[in-house]
Structure 1
Amino acid sequence: MSGKSDKKKSLVPRLRFPEFREAGAWEVKRLGGIYRFKPTNSWSRDQLNYDSGTIKNIHYGDIHKELNSTFRIDDEVVPYVNDTLADSVKEGAFCEEGDIVLADASEDVDDIGKAIEIVNIGGQRLVSGLHTILVSRIDHRIVVGFGAYLHASSGVRKQIQQRAQGAKILGISKAQLAEVKLAYPTEAREQQKIAHCLSSLDEVIWLQAKKVQALKQHKKGLMQQLFPAEGETTPRLRFPEFREA
């Protein structure tokens, strides 16, 4: 299939839920045929704050390090735009549920084009900031919640990495991104089932990560007690058989 063709390609995943095994091939279309590009801003960190404001801003650095791929605004720590800049935001620049925000620059090939999907915005005003590309669904063929996993799939990630350009800093343009091919099931129910399955796994991973963090803190506390403090020769905590040693 040529780069500019949106013709349907016979594509069926190796693993499929039983109720969709006879649903036919997935659709394959260019990103530019499914999403439209929206305005972003180039405000630096010193033009943002974490104290107050009426508009929140997604910085590309937060996509790389902090934000979940399925972005729910009440679960994330996102800075505000300084009030002096709020009036300069165009109405068409605000994020909507189902939008995808991608980082268009990275020092690491694994992170170039890393994306988050705006799943829940809670009625708040949110914009896409420095070194990001913001795309919005042209229609609702991609259901909210599925987009995050679609853009994180190996096939999509590989295409973005191959298109990235640069030496020390990699970048990808809107034109390059528009040519990336996306494969998705045409039936919304199948997209929802996939998203629900993967989000359930994400929740398990998150809970396990919390347990690991708690164990690390417990270990740290034990080490502080099992070894003598500075200026002391006996630890505060000792196994019973060695307390008289």
Structure 2
Amino acid sequence: MTKNNEHKNLNVPALRFPEFSGEWKKCKVSDLLDFYSTNSLSWEQLEYDTNAMMNLHYGLIHVGLPTMVDLAKDKLPNIKEDNMPTNFELCKEGDVAFADASEDTNEVAKTIEFYNLAEKNVVCGLHTIHGRDNKHKTVVGFKGYTFSSTVFHNQIRRIAQGTKIYSISTKNFSECYIGLPSKPEQTKIATLLRLIDERVATQNKIIEKLESLIKGIADKLFQTARETKLLLELAPNITSGTDKNGSGTIPLYGSTGIIGKVKNASQKGNIVLVARVGTIGTVQYVKESCGVSDNALIVEAGEMTKYIYHFLKTYKFAHITSGTTQPLITASSLKKIAVPTYDIERQTQIVLCLNILERKLDIEKQYLSDIAMMKQYLLHQMFI
């Protein structure tokens, strides 16, 4: 990769492969793409794992599908019997689909490209915009990434309409431009970003398998204990957080992580936090001095704290939740949990084992975050 620091005023990206030179062509999106009508089928009219025509719902563009959709491995729902649209345009490889609405301006016009249809019939559905490059100015794989680039979404953000829900239409694409390099350069860019996406998918599988392994090992370790003690006996001081978000430099923890800052720490650290509302039962270990909001219960157990943390990570909190409209966990119900116990030496071995596995998991998650950041950097630097 080379940076084009000396050509800031030319139609070239800030970062490109060294074997390519020359300016890119600026192209109005409405001149590049032809648009086709889409259906309005809801989730209730779709189902998975049949042989019927597949339908792209806008919700899957927001969550569930990669930028490059490969139907040899990615899944789309099928249209239920008696719901088949009468007029439709089948998708072709290289077609793109935009989500036309979102509560977040960053998600409006989020895009997927059909990289491989695997000989399956697919139509675009509710709240999608279906586009096709009939002039063949682009290679398959390039459009999905250029429409995911920072420079394109900055244009969308300026023209998206709405107050609570932001939306776009095909008319808006007459106001948007993308840069088009030669097809060999398009291919090189698309190949790099697709390989990064594949690495992200692989890393997610590594994390998923590792989480499953840790859970299986932890379950086994705690299930073999012959004795139990109530959590109240091991951690008599179980309270709810009381801190509010404000100014300061000390982290304020909520039910799932840091939610703000406080001026003074109410906790010295070495505590376990259990989400009592919202994402009930989320368990955190906090080593540092901090503040804690009233969304979390605080468990202090001295030298037993890390052992209790690992056990509570395996506990099924549905057994002790109360309430219907807003389920919650109370300090009194938490105190009654039976904790498997061993002698100090065995407990130390368990903590050491699970600490190592958890550290490995943290490393894999950080690597995933690093890959995602690299992709965002490239989407910012490699397009105009």
TM-score (norm 2): 0.56
The CA distance in 2 between the partners of 1:13 and 1:175, in whole Å, is 27
Query: What runs of 5+ residues in structure 1 fail to find an aligned partner?
Result: 1-8
Aligned equivalents of 1:82 and 1:208: distance in 2?
A: 34
Aligned-residue RMSD, C-alpha = 2.4
Residue of 207, 213, 221 corresponding to 2:216: 221
* Aligned-partner Cα distance in 1 for 2:155–2:170: 14
Which residue, out of 341, 344, 355, partners 1:234?
341
Is residue 180 of structure 1 aligned with residue 287 of structure 2?
no
- The one-letter code sitting in structure 1 at the alignment partner of 2:193 is L
2:116 aligned residue: 120
CA distance in 2, matches of 1:37, 1:113: 14
Give how far 1:113 is off: 0.6
Q: CA deviation at 1:108?
A: 1.4
Q: Are 1:80 and 2:75 matched, yes or no? A: no
CA distance 1:178–1:233, shift in 2 (3 Å): same
Q: Give 1:242 deviation, angstroms.
A: 6.4
Match of 2:23, SS? coil
Q: 1:32 aligns with which of 22, 26, 30?
A: 30
- Which of 187, 198, 202 lines up with 1:203 in the alignment? 198
Alpha-carbon separation, structure 1, partners of 2:163 and 2:147: 24
**1:20 alignment counterpart:** 20
Offset at residue 96 of structure 1 (A): 0.7
Separation (CA, whole Å) in 2 of partners of 1:127 and 1:241: 57
The one-letter amino acid paired with 2:183 is: A
The number of aligned residues is 229
Unpaired segments of 5 or more residues in structure 2? Answer: 1-8, 223-310, 316-336, 351-384
CA distance in 1, matches of 2:91, 2:176: 22
* Deviation beyond 6 Å, 4+ runs, structure 1: 240-243
CA drift of 1:60 comes to 0.4
What is the identity percentage for the equivalent residue pairs of Structure 1 and Structure 2?
Answer: 35
Name which of structure 1's ranges 211-220 and 26-35 shifts more when overlaid on structure 2. Answer: 211-220
Alignment of 1:127-146 (within 5 A): 127-146=123-142
Matched, 1:167 2:274: no
Q: What's 2:278 paired with?
A: none
Shift of 1:123: 1.5
For the 8 Å contact 1:53–1:82, the answer to whether it is kept is no
Q: C-alpha distance in 1, partners of 2:130/2:40? A: 13
Structure 2: which amino acid aligns with 1:164? A
Question: In the aligned structure 2, how far is the partner of 1:239 from the partner of 1:26?
Answer: 65
Distance in structure 2 (CA, Å) of the matches to 1:196 and 1:71: 14
- 1:192 paired residue number: 187
Deviation at 1:240, TM superposition (A): 8.0
> 1:15 & 1:209 partners in 2: Cα distance?
28
Which structure would you say has the larger RCO, counting Cα contacts within 8 Å and 6 or more residues apart?
1
Q: Deviations over 1:151-173 (max 9, x none)?
A: 11101111112111111111111
- How far did 1:218 drift? 2.8
Residue type matched to 1:66 in 2?
A: G
Contact 2:45 2:80 in 1 (8 A): yes
1:49-68 superposed matches below 5 A: 49-68=47-66
Tell me how far 1:94 sits from its aligned partner.
1.0
How far apart are the structure 2 equivalents of 1:20 and 1:101?
29
Q: Secondary structure at the match of 1:86?
A: coil
Letter in 2 for 1:107: E
Taking a change above 3 Å as real, the CA distance of residues 61 and 240 of structure 1, as seen in their structure-2 partners, is closer
Whether the aligned pair in 2 keeps the contact of 1:112 and 1:164 (CA below 8 Å) is yes
Tell me how far 1:214 sits from its aligned partner. Answer: 2.1
The letter of the residue matching 2:41 is: W
Which residue identity does 2:172 align to in structure 1? Q
* SS of residue matched to 1:210: helix
Instruction: Tell me how far apart the structure 2 counterparts of residues 152 and 241 of structure 1 sit (CA, whole Å).
Output: 49
Task: Please name the residue that 2:143 is paired with.
Answer: 147
Q: Which AA in structure 1 matches 2:106?
A: D
Judge which range, 156-165 or 57-66, deviates more. 156-165
Cα distance in 1 for residues equivalent to 2:340 and 2:12 = 67
- Does the 8 Å CA contact 1:53/1:83 hold for their aligned counterparts? no
Is 1:157 the equivalent of 2:264?
no
> Which of the pair has more CA radius of gyration?
2
TM superposition score normalised by structure 1: 0.85
CA separation of 1:146/1:234 partners in 2, compared to 1, >3 Å: closer, same or farther?
same
